[in-house]
Structure 1
Amino acid sequence: MNLLRSLKLKNRMILILGLMALVQTGLIGVFAVQYLHQSLEEQIGQRALHVAKTIAAMPQISEAVSQRNTAYLQPISMLLAKKTQARFVVIGDKQGIRLAHPSHEKIGFSMADDDGDDGGIALIEGEGYISKALGSLGWSMRGKAPIYALDQQEIIGVVSVGYHLDQVDGVINRYRLTLVAVIGLSFLLSAVIAVWFANHFKKAIFGLEPEQIAHLFDEQKATLETVREGIIAINCEGIITIFNRNAIKTLGLSENTQLTGRSIEDVLPESAMSEVLRTGQPQFDCEVWLHNDVYIVNRIPLQQGNQVTGVVSSFRRKDELDLVSKKLTRIRQYADNLRSQAHEYTNKLHTIAGLIQLDAKDEAMAFIGQENQEHQELIHLLLEAVPDPILAGFLLGKYNRAREVGLQLVIDPDSHMTELPDRLPREQLVSIIGNLIDNALEATLLHKGPGGQVNLSMTDLGNDLIFEVEDQGAGVSEIEEQQIFDKGFTSKTEAGHGIGLHLVKGLLKNLGGTITLEKGDEEGCRFIVYIPKSYT
């Protein structure tokens, strides 16, 4: 077995198919030779019996036997043996004593001396029969028939006709030679077929050996189990062929659940994998509700040529991705805050340094006090109106960002946002408000230039959280109002725009909120966001 495993696939297939051909051909050949041997013996036996009955029915033989005329029977038996190509023709009387025999010296002795059979069955029962025996003349097939008197009333003797089995052995030997030749040709043909099949098979499996395929299978299985996402693959009939344990865990199924061989519709009713299987179009980052949870799903078709042979789907609960997004959002906020503050305070330090160099100490002290007072007022407002640290830190960062580009972010001092629901995803909230503020800053800077301002007001009175962001931009036409939330729509010529407001609309849809657009008090636009407190 170890030797077999050490061989290449092609050599294994040649050896295995060759041995199979040898065994099959050998078994068939042995059966054929045995069957032929028995058939030939049976045919020779029937021929011997037929000749024996023919001789027994001759009147001359019957009369000579009744007269015990050995002088007549001896030469006629020799002549009949020659004519019928028999090995011998022996004639005996009703006691089984030889009256004719190829060996003259055996005449007068019992026929039982040859093979222990004196023709008693034929003499007693009057029926012919066939026997195979080793007599004085060697192995032979014998046919024995009773000789009746001329009146057909009395059995007076027996005729034994034998054919030597050397003829049978000669025929069998010729067939054996033919069989050996057939076995050799079968082995060669099997080797040729094995080479062709092995080449074709290895091409189909990319030239890999079975052990390499097994190793790759183990690697694939281990890889699937280490992936944190759930993975399910189906074939062209929608039957599950591959899955990992995280798929079981993510779907909330029992750990011992076996999905292989089951229809995807049974496991995930109305799964879009069937659609991908039909259209061949991949689907990326789709949000799907299942078992009261939101999943982020990717579906990719498997293709051979132009034919879709299956689909692989990976999925993960959205809250896990949201957790990662939340961490990234916080880091990003901190980075933006630090960058904005560093840039802002660098400019302020340069201003203070310049005033000191000009010996304007009073002005420098007033400037320092003013800056400190503005910052303290903002921090005091955020601490009282927005106790949530994530939202407060986010607004402080946007305030500094506005100062950095020469604008003002004015937060309504009457703002109040203390009743944020615990389950409200903070990363989604700051993404919504952040996109609106960024758009407002950009529109104001583009239309008004440095010195413009963006107003923000917040309230949590009532059943909704309400945020208003007002800019001093050029405003939005009635036609643009109908398209402003469409993905890719933008009034700017630079690439990379047209995503923010579409993202805001999508996030609000997940939170059950809405957004409206109206003209500002003086110019520009005012975006109003409503988020229900009852979000769960």
Structure 2
Amino acid sequence: MNLTNNVKQLLFKRIVKLKTRMILILGVMVLIQTGLVGGFALTYLSQALDEQMAQKAMHVANTISDIPSVQRAVTERDSNFLHPLSLKLAEKNGARYVVIADHLGIRLAHPDIDAIGLSMLDDEPDERPLTFPGGKGYAYTAQGSLGTSMRARAPIISPDTDEVIGVVSVGYLTDRIASVVNRYRQTLALVIILGFLVSAVMAIAFADYVKRAIFGLEPDQIGRLYQERNATLESVREGIIAINGDGRITTCNQTALATLGLPTSQDLIGLPVQEVLPDSNILEVLATGEPHYDQHVWMQGKQLIVNRIPLTNGGQITGVVSSFRRKDELDRVSQQLDRVQQYADSLRSQAHEYSNKLHTIAGLIQIGATEQALTFIGQENQSHQALIQLLVEAVPDPILAGCLLGKYNRARELGLSLTVDESSHMAELPDDLSREQLVAIIGNLLDNALEATLRHHGTGGEVRLSMTDLGNDLIFEMDDDGPGITPEDQLRIFEKGVTSKKGAGHGIGLYLVRKQLDELNGQIIVEPGDHGGSRFIVFIPKIPPVKKQV
């Protein structure tokens, strides 16, 4: 049964298109509305005509009952006078009949001369009594010898005794009301047909407009696309947030909530983006229409790569879509691919170097110089142990210490040396300072110094690092054996894409350093080094500012 209903619904959706549905819906609405209004109008018209006819009949009856000659003729029971007078009065007032009777209801005047002398109560099944409370007449509808009529009865009062001596009955046939109502009913039918045709034309025009606005799609197709769109948003690993022209959020996937650290159960749809992300630059794109591509943004200790694209319709900006992803996720694969070749080259050089050292140790043992062999082995491990001891004492933070130890090993792989000043001290690292940002800044600068030294000096070069946490700033100094940086280049090296290296994929490290320092309100100074290279001096406040969000 359910399968049959589903098949019927599917066939209905495919056969009955949007335009047909709108014609049917609007047409039925017009039919219902005009039918209800017309039915009410006809009912009200019929009642109004009944009341109007009753008032007219009552007025004619009262007027006739007040004529002195009528009062006198009733007293004398003069039918010869009353009969022609009733016919004349009926014709003059457009009434179907005027009947005059005595106080007992015996007719003294009637359109049918044979009915004179008979009781007027014989024509009424309910035998309505001839009583007039307060001396006033009344109107009613009844079936008489001449048909259904609106009747009005008025008492004839004797001017001498103030007693009821007779009654005047005036009747108007109700078929006149039926003919008027039928005439209006025909007019209403024409109005309903015309309204349906007008609604059909409006439905076609409106349906064409809607179809153009929705790119010719049917409602069920839009529903499927909406479901596919939601599934697509949730399947991508990038956070996506979209706003409309009023700056309110219209789209937000679960990845965006997780990346921004918001509760995944929170519904952001309809909220102003300024309330959710107070420091977001997405409103800048909405105001200017200028897209943002691959912008690096720090938020809650996470570095994100953000793209913001304006949405336009007819030349007007209607909203903005922002997509973002953690940079470390993108960098992880890139760095691994970039360093595979470096590791391979380093391993080959180290294998050759350690092969020579092993041969030396083996030769010393063979000739019996055991103490010299042990001394040679100790010298190889001495510098490494000295650095570890220095880091333990001067840099209690394990993340920064691990970064420096990793760069030390990296320098050895490249055939270089990384020397840390023995007077360095870096124990007062603020708890709210992002360690990820800190190691990104120091790591990028050390990598840049090692590569510059290797290109210019070759193996055997040295990079020197000095650190201090005295005062209100954390200060790092890095001195390399590279070719140095000209004053002109010192103004450009922090721009994105500016590099002295060959090949693609460079010119990012120092740009990121500048971006991250701006986030921390830090500074960096570039000056000539003591050994012909360059010296980079970094100042990071111990009280970092609030991070900007996406």
User: Does residue 256 of the first structure (1) align with residue 272 of the second (2)?
Assistant: no
Partner of 2:39: 30
RMSD: 4.2
Q: Which of 280, 291, 311 lines up with 1:302 in the alignment?
A: 311
User: Does residue 228 of the first structure (1) align with residue 237 of the second (2)?
Assistant: yes
1:21: Cα distance to partner? 0.7
Distance 1:470 1:102, change over 3 A: same
* Structure 1 letter corresponding to 2:322: S
Rounded to whole Å, the distance in 2 between the matches of 1:430 and 1:289 is 17
Partner of 1:85: 94
Partner of 1:468: 479
Instruction: Specify the SS of the correspondent of 2:223.
Output: helix
User: Does residue 120 of the first structure (1) align with residue 130 of the second (2)?
Assistant: yes
1:99: Cα distance to partner? 1.3
1:334: Cα distance to partner? 2.5
Once the two structures are superposed, the pairs formed by residues 13-92 of structure 1 within 5 Å of their partners are: 13-92=22-101
Partner of 1:435: 448
1:270: Cα distance to partner? 3.2
Contact 1:416 1:458 (8 Å CA) reproduced: no
Partner of 1:457: 463
Contact 2:65 2:155 (8 Å CA) reproduced: yes
Partner of 1:527: 535
User: Does residue 199 of the first structure (1) align with residue 200 of the second (2)?
Assistant: no
Q: Which stretch of structure 1 is more off in the superposition, 496-505 or 14-23?
A: 496-505
Q: Which of 168, 182, 188 lines up with 1:179 in the alignment?
A: 188
Rounded to whole Å, the distance in 2 between the matches of 1:330 and 1:494 is 17
1:205: Cα distance to partner? 1.1
Partner of 1:322: 328
Higher RCO (CA < 8 A, seq sep 6+): 2
Rounded to whole Å, the distance in 1 between the matches of 2:525 and 2:172 is 114
Distance 1:188 1:508, change over 3 A: closer
Partner of 1:213: 222
User: Does residue 394 of the first structure (1) align with residue 410 of the second (2)?
Assistant: yes
Distance 1:97 1:430, change over 3 A: same
- Deviations along 1:334-364, one digit per CA (max 9) or x if unpaired, are 322325766x799x9xxxxxxxxxxxxxxxx
Rounded to whole Å, the distance in 1 between the matches of 2:174 and 2:63 is 21
Distance 1:336 1:428, change over 3 A: farther
Distance 1:243 1:498, change over 3 A: closer
Q: Which of 83, 90, 103 lines up with 2:112 in the alignment?
A: 103
Rounded to whole Å, the distance in 2 between the matches of 1:271 and 1:469 is 38
Instruction: Specify the SS of the correspondent of 1:121.
Output: coil
Contact 2:149 2:173 (8 Å CA) reproduced: yes
* Structure 2 letter corresponding to 1:120: L
Partner of 1:160: 169
Partner of 2:526: 516
Distance 1:229 1:476, change over 3 A: closer
* Structure 2 letter corresponding to 1:469: D
1:260: Cα distance to partner? 2.2
1:52: Cα distance to partner? 1.5
Rounded to whole Å, the distance in 1 between the matches of 2:234 and 2:487 is 54
Rounded to whole Å, the distance in 2 between the matches of 1:481 and 1:183 is 83
* Structure 2 letter corresponding to 1:394: R
Rounded to whole Å, the distance in 2 between the matches of 1:461 and 1:274 is 40
- Deviations along 1:153-191, one digit per CA (max 9) or x if unpaired, are 232111101111111111111111111111111111110
Once the two structures are superposed, the pairs formed by residues 388-427 of structure 1 within 5 Å of their partners are: 390-391=406-407, 394-395=410-411, 398-399=414-415, 410-411=416-417
Distance 1:516 1:79, change over 3 A: closer
* Structure 2 letter corresponding to 1:174: R
Rounded to whole Å, the distance in 1 between the matches of 2:518 and 2:386 is 26
- Deviations along 1:108-163, one digit per CA (max 9) or x if unpaired, are 222211224556234x5321221111112111011211112244723211110111
1:490: Cα distance to partner? 6.4
Rounded to whole Å, the distance in 2 between the matches of 1:247 and 1:289 is 15
Instruction: Specify the SS of the correspondent of 2:131.
Output: helix
Instruction: Specify the SS of the correspondent of 1:120.
Output: coil
1:18: Cα distance to partner? 0.4
Aligned length: 491
Q: Which stretch of structure 1 is more off in the superposition, 423-432 or 300-309?
A: 423-432
Contact 1:17 1:190 (8 Å CA) reproduced: yes
Instruction: Specify the SS of the correspondent of 1:108.
Output: coil
Partner of 2:373: none
- Deviations along 1:235-260, one digit per CA (max 9) or x if unpaired, are 22222222223333334344432222
* Structure 2 letter corresponding to 1:329: Q
Q: Which stretch of structure 1 is more off in the superposition, 265-274 or 203-212?
A: 265-274
- Deviations along 1:29-67, one digit per CA (max 9) or x if unpaired, are 111111111122222222212221222222221111100
1:417: Cα distance to partner? 13
Partner of 1:357: none
1:195: Cα distance to partner? 0.3
TM-score normalised according to structure 2 size: 0.75
Question: What's the % identity of the aligned pairs?
Answer: 41
Contact 2:525 2:538 (8 Å CA) reproduced: yes
Instruction: Specify the SS of the correspondent of 2:22.
Output: helix
Rounded to whole Å, the distance in 1 between the matches of 2:154 and 2:22 is 59
Distance 1:484 1:460, change over 3 A: closer
1:431: Cα distance to partner? 3.8
Distance 1:371 1:477, change over 3 A: farther
Q: Which of 255, 266, 271 lines up with 1:246 in the alignment?
A: 255
Contact 2:310 2:317 (8 Å CA) reproduced: yes
1:23: Cα distance to partner? 0.8
1:5: Cα distance to partner? 4.1
Rounded to whole Å, the distance in 2 between the matches of 1:461 and 1:57 is 126
Once the two structures are superposed, the pairs formed by residues 307-386 of structure 1 within 5 Å of their partners are: 307-316=316-325, 318=326, 321-339=327-345
Rounded to whole Å, the distance in 2 between the matches of 1:217 and 1:28 is 40
1:386: Cα distance to partner? 6.8
Rounded to whole Å, the distance in 1 between the matches of 2:322 and 2:31 is 49
